[in-house]
Copies of this chain bind each other. A is one copy, B any other.
Amino acid sequence: MPRIPVVERIMKANDDVAASNRQLLDEHGVHAVNILAAPGAGKTSVILAVAAALKGKCRVGVIEGDLASDIDSRKVRMAGLPVYQINTGGECHLDANQVRVALDQLPLDEIDLLFIENVGNLICPVEFALGEHTRLAISSVPEGDDKPYKYPPVFANVDVLALNKADLLPFMPFDVAEFERVVRTLNPEIAFFTVSSTKGTGIPALADWLAALAR
């Protein structure tokens, strides 16, 4: 059974396109952030809140990844940001080829910070490089504080984590300090922000941290 060689060829082909994407981004001075999160963690809301906080300071663009629908890209377009929607059909993650098609459609010279919102999935997107410079994971309070134990790869393989929906902390048990402690056992160097995209709490600090990458 040639299963492992086939998988290796697919991953190698993806890595090659990702490297080419990275080169294209660098040529245009774009810093790309690959966003990984479970469905409903608030990826689009965090992007929109960060973009609003950076208005006039840093030009934000967005690639939206979903199995289906253009709900998220319509929200982003209404906020006045350049956006490209990828519908994967049934695929559970974005790949570098899909991102390349999006990059070829976006006005890269008018973008400093490019958010690539991956498909809502805490597992599969971790394996696929897209050409990004930075990986941001978004967790949310109602998902529960045990997620680092159950999904260690995503927490171990990102540069920065935003714990979103902090406005719900009064309504459910969630030990933020213990959550951060477990995340740091998996990833000692991770940058950690507690935010609420709806209330705006913590968004300026996260936005400043991300904007600093794009300089």
Contacts and interface: CB of A to CB of B under 8 A. Distances in A.
Nearest to A143: B40
Nearest to A90: B153
A183 to B, nearest CB: 14
Contacts of A1: 6, 9
Interface stretch (A52-60, A61-69, A95-103): A61-69
A96 to B, nearest CB: 17
A80 interface: no
A191 to B, nearest CB: 22
Interface string A142-186: 111011011111000000000001001001000000000000000
Contact of A2 (B6, B40, B143, B151): B6
Interface string A14-56: 0000000000000000000000001110000000000000000
Contacts of A79: none
B124 A92 contact: yes
Interface residues of A, number: 37
Nearest to A144: B40
A81 interface: no
Contact of A121 (B67, B123, B165): B123
A113 interface: no
Interface of A: 1-3, 6, 9-10, 38-40, 66-69, 71-72, 90, 92, 119-124, 140, 142-144, 146-147, 149-153, 165, 168, 171
27 contacts: A1-B6, A3-B6, A3-B10, A6-B6, A38-B38, A38-B120, A40-B140, A40-B144, A66-B150, A67-B150, A67-B151, A68-B149, A68-B152, A69-B149, A69-B150, A71-B149, A72-B150, A92-B92, A92-B121, A92-B123, A119-B123, A120-B150, A121-B122, A121-B123, A121-B124, A123-B124, A124-B124
